[in-house]
Amino acid sequence: MFEEFPDSDDSRVWTREEIDAWDALAEEERRAQLPPDERYREQFGPGAIADAAWLAAALTEEAAVYTQDLAVQADRMRILADANRIAALLTAYERALIDLAHRFGASYGTRAGLGAQAFFRSFGLQTGAHPAVVAGEVDAGLILRDRLPLTWSAFQAGEASWSRMRTVVREAEGLDAEHWAAYDGTAAVKVVESTRLKDDLRKARARLDDEAAAKRARTTHERRRTSLELGHDGGVAFVAEGLAADWVPINDALHKAAVAAHGVEGETRGIAQLRHDIALDILREGLQAPTAADGASVPQRKPVQVQLILTVPALAWLGKTKEQAQLGGYGPIDLETAKALAGTATSFIRVLTDPVTGVRLSMDRKVYAPPADLARWVKIRDGRSRFPGSTIAPHLADIDHAREWQHGGATDARNLVTLGRTDHNLKSAGLFIEAVEDDGTVGWDEVWGHHFADPPNDPLDPAPPELLPPPRDDGDCPF
C-alpha cells in the first residue's frame, strides 16, 4: 500500500495507525462504488439478501444528490424560458406600438400613451398577468436590453434569473448616464456570482456615483402612494410606500402607543391588534377633521366622510338563506360582520331583488346623464369596474354607456356599466369595443382581434320554496 500514498516520500516513516487509516479509507471508497445489493452481500455474507428498507437507506444519499441535480437543471430551464419570454414580450410590445401609431396616430405609439396601456391590458388578459406586472416587465426588460447589454447577455445565456435581473435594474435607479457602462460591467459579474446581490450592487453604485442615494430618495418621494391589497376572509392590507424618513418614525411611534395602551388595566388586545386599531382611529379622525392649513401636508384639504357601502340580503338577514353580504370595494363578507357594521351605520341604501330568481331589479331612464339613483344602482349591481380583471371599486369608477349615447345607446341599467377611468379612455379611443350580453356579461374586443369577457356578479340566492306563495289553481282548461 505504500506506493499508493499521495505525495509519498521515501525518507518518510509511516506509523501503523496511519497505514491502517489509509487502508480503511481506500476500502470505504472501493465499497462505495459497488451497487447497494453487492455492498450488502460483502457486509453480511454471499448468501444474504438485502431487504427493501436497507436498499432504500443505502440509496438515500444517491437519490438526494440526483434529485437535487434534476431540480437545478429544471431551474436552469426556467431561467432560459424566462429569458426567451422577456425577449418575446419586448418584441411584441414594440411591434404593437408601431401598429397603433400607424393606425391611430403617433401619440398611441409612446410609452405614455393609451396604446401602451391597451397592450398591457391585452397581454395581461391573455396570460393571466396584471397589467401593472406586464408594464413592469416591459420597462425593466427595455432597460436591461438597451442600457445594460452585458447583464442582458448573461440573462439570455441562462446564467441568472429574472428576479436577479429586476434587482439589477432597481439598484441602477438614479445613476447618471455616464456611469451606466461601468455599472453594467460590475452587474454582469455580480448577478451571476454574488450571494448578496443587492448589497454588492449598492456598494458598486455608491462608488460610481456618491450622489445616487439622494437621487433615489427623490425618486422614491415622487413615487409615494398608498394602495389596498385584497386578502382572504374579509381582510385587506393597507400599504403605504414612501420615504423611510417619514414612515419609520411613524411606525416607531405607533408601536410605542400600542405598548402604552397594552399596559392599561382591562385591555385584552395584543400589540399588533392595538397598532392596527390606533392607526385606524388616526386615519378616520384625520379624514373627517383635517388639520389647519398652516403646516399641513395638503393645505386647504376638505373633510372626507368615510362611507361604507354594504349590501345585505334581507332573507339572509332573517336566517332564511345562507348568502353572504357584499362589502363595496371588496366582495363577500360573513353575515355576522355585516350585521355588526350595519348596527353602527347612519344610513342605508335598500336594494330589492326578485324573490324567485334572485336577480337584482333593473331601472330605466331616457336621459344621457344617469340620475343619482340610477348611477347608484348600477354601481351596486356591478360591484366593481367591468373591465376584465379590474378590481377598481365601483364608487371610484365612471358610469359608462356600453353602446355610446351618440350611437343610439340608451341611458338604462341594461346599457350602463361601471368602468375605471383608464379603461373608459381606452374604450372611448376605440382601442377596445364593449358590448353587454343578455346574461349581463360584458364582452370586450381589442384592436388585434382578441375577445375577452367579464361575467356579472353571481345572482343572489332565490327565496326557499317554503317562502314562496302557492301556485295558482285556475281550474281545468275549458277547451
Q: Which of 12-26, 59-73, 368-382, 407-421 has the highest mean pLDDT?
A: 407-421
pLDDT-derived band at 2, boundaries 50, 70, 90: very low
Q: What pLDDT score was predicted for residue 185?
A: 95
Q: What pLDDT score was predicted for residue 107?
A: 94
Q: What pLDDT score was predicted for residue 404?
A: 83
Least confident stretch, 71-75, 86-90, 149-153: 71-75
Q: Is residue 293 part of a domain?
A: no
Report d(CA 31, CA 166) in Å as an integer.
48
For residues 417 and 390, membership in a common domain is answered with yes
Residue-averaged pLDDT of the chain: 80
Report d(CA 156, CA 108) in Å as an integer.
30
Q: Is residue 13 part of a domain?
A: yes
Report d(CA 173, CA 326) in Å as an integer.
42
Counting Cβ atoms within 10 Å, is residue 465 exposed (0-12), middle (13-18) or buried (19+)?
exposed
For residues 85 and 19, membership in a common domain is answered with no
Q: How many domains does the chain have?
A: 4
pLDDT-derived band at 380, boundaries 50, 70, 90: confident
Of 164, 191, 222, the last residue of a domain is 222
| Cell numbers that stand for 363 in this block | 331601472
Report d(CA 191, CA 183) in Å as an integer.
12
For residues 261 and 355, membership in a common domain is answered with no
Q: Is residue 401 part of a domain?
A: yes
Q: What pLDDT score was predicted for residue 415?
A: 85
Q: Which residue has the higher pLDDT, 29 or 140?
A: 140
Query: Percentage of residues in the chain with pLDDT exceeding 70?
Result: 77
Q: What pLDDT score was predicted for residue 471?
A: 67
Closest C-alpha among 293, 453, 333 to residue 387? 453
Q: Is residue 471 part of a domain?
A: no
pTM for this entry? 0.67
Least confident stretch, 26-40, 97-111, 414-428, 458-472: 458-472
Closest C-alpha among 449, 434, 388 to residue 99? 449
Least confident stretch, 77-86, 172-181, 245-254, 303-312: 303-312
Q: Scanning the structure block, which residue is given the C-alpha cell 395602551?
A: 261
Counting Cβ atoms within 10 Å, is residue 138 exposed (0-12), middle (13-18) or buried (19+)?
buried
Q: Is residue 295 part of a domain?
A: no
The yes-or-no verdict on residue 345 having pLDDT over 70 is no
Q: Which residue has the higher pLDDT, 413 or 53?
A: 413
Report pLDDT digits (tens) over 288-299. Answer: 766 655 566 666
Q: Is residue 267 part of a domain?
A: yes
The yes-or-no verdict on residue 470 having pLDDT over 60 is yes
| Cell numbers that stand for 124 in this block | 395581461
Query: Percentage of residues in the chain with pLDDT exceeding 90?
Result: 32
For residues 334 and 392, membership in a common domain is answered with yes
- Alpha-carbon 230 to chain mean position: 10
Closest C-alpha among 355, 310, 315 to residue 332? 310
- 66-85 burial string, b = 16+ CB within 10 Å, else e? eeeeeeeeeeeeebeebbee
The yes-or-no verdict on residue 56 having pLDDT over 60 is no
Q: Is residue 479 part of a domain?
A: no
Q: 371 — alpha (psi -120 to 50), left (phi > 0) or beta? A: beta
Q: Which residue has the higher pLDDT, 149 or 174?
A: 149
The yes-or-no verdict on residue 245 having pLDDT over 60 is yes
For 29, phi then psi, to 5°, come to: -65, -35
For residues 217 and 254, membership in a common domain is answered with no
Give me the domain span that covers residue 20. 2-49
Report d(CA 180, CA 289) in Å as an integer.
48
The yes-or-no verdict on residue 58 having pLDDT over 60 is no
The yes-or-no verdict on residue 478 having pLDDT over 50 is yes
| Cell numbers that stand for 376 in this block | 347608484
For residues 204 and 154, membership in a common domain is answered with yes
CB 393 within 8 A of CB 380: no
Q: What pLDDT score was predicted for residue 333?
A: 78
Three-state DSSP state, 235? coil
For residues 400 and 337, membership in a common domain is answered with yes
Q: What pLDDT score was predicted for residue 459?
A: 65
Helices (H), 263-334: 271-288, 314-317
Q: What is the DSSP string of 337-355?
A: HHHHHHHH-S------B-T
Q: Which residue has the higher pLDDT, 371 or 113?
A: 113
For residues 230 and 218, membership in a common domain is answered with no
For residues 204 and 77, membership in a common domain is answered with yes
The yes-or-no verdict on residue 17 having pLDDT over 80 is no
For residues 313 and 462, membership in a common domain is answered with yes
For residues 281 and 390, membership in a common domain is answered with no
Report d(CA 110, CA 46) in Å as an integer.
78
Report d(CA 183, CA 205) in Å as an integer.
7
The yes-or-no verdict on residue 41 having pLDDT over 50 is yes
Q: What pLDDT score was predicted for residue 291?
A: 60
The yes-or-no verdict on residue 304 having pLDDT over 70 is no
For residues 209 and 260, membership in a common domain is answered with no
Q: Is residue 477 part of a domain?
A: no
